[in-house]
Amino acid sequence: MFNVVIADDYDLVSSEAFKIMRNVMNKENPVLGLTTGSSPIGLYKKMIADHNSNGTSYKKVVTFNLDEYIGIPRDHEQSYYTFMHENLFDSLDIREENIHIPHGDAEDLEAECARYEEELSKYSIDLQVLGIGVDGHIAFNEPGVQFDSLTHVMKLEEQTRRDNARFFDDDVDEVPTHAITMGLASIMKAAKIVVIATGANKADAVYGMVKGPKSPDCPASILQDHPDVTVILDNDAAFRIV
């Protein structure tokens, strides 16, 4: 079930997402599912501003990130570990031991996937923040992925690597070819989901998610089966569904 919110600009999109986040932060021990990419950055800035001005504390917050590149170390400037620390965690009072991000540099990747899923199963995510890829991927679940997938290794589509090359000096060869990602079934367990998408290049993926056939061809279309998804869009990303 989708609740679609259309806002006029990116700041308003981020404010709408933050309203949902603030409600969840009122819980005793919030468990947050977090994502990387450009889409959540405005939300993260608002969380930091709220922490600084209102003293909202993250000491009791547990977080799980969706995914991590394989083949680059955690301290690489483009690892999702680095992204999350630079864009959010380093500015909050969250405890490092409450932060969960898959280890893309693990020697045994299958064991790492199993360990991550096991860790996830000890908690229930109150709010999962998602972006969406141009090809309809969520986390790094690319087209063709099984709807019942748990945390797994995924080969990245060329489109996804090209889209993410902007973070690797525009050199697609530098973008890792594989990632560890929470599966679609892992993501669907969250109590509440918010999807943030802006820009005309996301309009087809947004259409596939909200109105398209429910199919692994558009992994985000699985969200049609979730009871509580808010999709927050700007006008450009929304133009095919209005």
| Positions that interact with ligand GLP (CB under 6 A) | 35-39, 66-67, 131-133, 139-140, 160, 164
Is residue 142 annotated as part of the catalytic site, yes or no? yes
User: Least distance from C-beta 228 to ligand GLP, angstroms?
Assistant: 19
42 by DSSP, 3-state: which? helix
Among residues 67, 68, 105, 234, the one annotated as catalytic is 67
User: Least distance from C-beta 31 to ligand GLP, angstroms?
Assistant: 18
Among residues 51, 103, 137, 152, the one annotated as catalytic is 137
Structural element, H or E, at residue 117? helix 109-120
Q: Which positions ≥6 away from 86 have C-beta within 8 Å?
A: none
72-92 burial, b if ≥16 CB within 10 A, otherwise e? beeebebbbbbbbbebbbebb
Is residue 217 annotated as part of the catalytic site, yes or no? no
User: Least distance from C-beta 199 to ligand GLP, angstroms?
Assistant: 8
- Where does residue 30 fall: left (phi above 0), alpha (psi -120 to 50 degrees), or beta otherwise? beta
Among residues 16, 112, 126, 135, the one annotated as catalytic is 135
Is residue 119 annotated as part of the catalytic site, yes or no? no
Would you tell me the crossing angle of helices 10-25 and 41-54 to the nearest 10 degrees?
Answer: 50
Residue nearer to ligand GLP on the CB measure, 13 or 56: 13
Is residue 67 annotated as part of the catalytic site, yes or no? yes
Residue nearer to ligand GLP on the CB measure, 29 or 144: 144
Catalytic residues: 67, 135, 137, 142
